[in-house]
Amino acid sequence: MGSGIGFSPRPDPRTWGLFAVWENASAWEAFRDASRVMRQYRERSEELYTLRLQPVSSHGRWSGVEPFGSPDGVRSIGPDEPLVVLTRATIRLHRALRFWSWVDPVDRELRASPDLLLGFGIGEAPWIRQATLSVWRTTATMQAFAYASPAHREVIRRTRAEDWYAEELFARFRLLGTEGTLGGTDPLNAIPAR
C-alpha cells in the first residue's frame, strides 16, 4: 500500500505499488501482457504507471534475499542521466516511533527539492516494513540532497547510532523507460529512454 506521491505515515488505500525483478525484458512483457495479476491490476485501476529499471548498485537484503544479485559490470550512471533510488527497511518495533518522528521533516525537505522528479513511500507491512522509490535529476543532485539536507543527514546519523533497522536495502537504478500515466500524465516524459 502506498502513500501516493511523497512520504507519509498515512497510507492511501487507493495507491498500490508492485516492485518485481525479471530475468529479461521478454519475461516482463509476458507478465505484463498475459498474467492474471496484471489483468486484475488493469481491471481495478483508474491508471497504471510503470518504471522500467536496470540495477546499477545494491547493498543489503529484502526479506533475507539480495533481489538484484550483483550488478557488477553494469555501466555506471552518466553524470546527466536520472537516477532511481530504492530504499527498503524493516524498522525495529522499539525504534518505530523515533523513525516516524523524522518522516515529516525529511518529507518537507524532499518536496522542496527541485531535483526530485518523482517519489513514493510504500508500506509493505505499513509502519514497520517501509520502502521508498525516488527519481532524481542526476546522481550528484541525489547525493547533495542525501548528505546536505539537515533533516535527512540527521536521519542517516540516527539510523546508525540508534540502530533503527533490523534489515535494510539500498539500490540504485538506471531508468530505461516508462509506460502509462500517473495523475493523467507521464511525470517523467521529458527524460529520454535509455
Grid cell, residue 179, equals 509506460
Dist. CA 189–CA 66, nearest whole Å: 30
Per-residue pLDDT tens over the stretch 36-90: 999 999 999 999 999 999 999 999 999 999 998 877 656 788 888 999 999 999 9
pLDDT of residue 3: 39
Could you tell me the pTM of the whole model? 0.88
Better pLDDT: 178 or 14: 178
pLDDT of residue 181: 93
Beta carbons of 50 and 31 less than 8 angstroms apart: no
First-to-final CA distance of the chain:
29
Phi then psi for residue 80, to 5 deg, are -105, 5
Dist. CA 47–CA 57, nearest whole Å: 30
Beta carbons of 62 and 182 less than 8 angstroms apart: no
Per-residue pLDDT tens over the stretch 96-139: 999 989 888 998 998 889 999 999 888 888 788 989 999 999 99
A 10 A CB-CB count for 141 gives 17
Dist. CA 39–CA 13, nearest whole Å: 19
Q: For residue 44, count CB atoms less than 10 angstroms from its CB and return exposed for 0-12, middle for 13-18, buried for 19 or more.
A: exposed
User: Three-class SS of residue 44?
Assistant: helix
Residue 158 predicted with pLDDT over 90 = yes
Fold of 2-8+51-180: Alpha-Beta Plaits (3.30.70)
Residue 40's identity, in one-letter code, is Q
Beta carbons of 37 and 19 less than 8 angstroms apart: no
Dist. CA 166–CA 151, nearest whole Å: 22
Q: What is the mean pLDDT of the chain?
A: 88
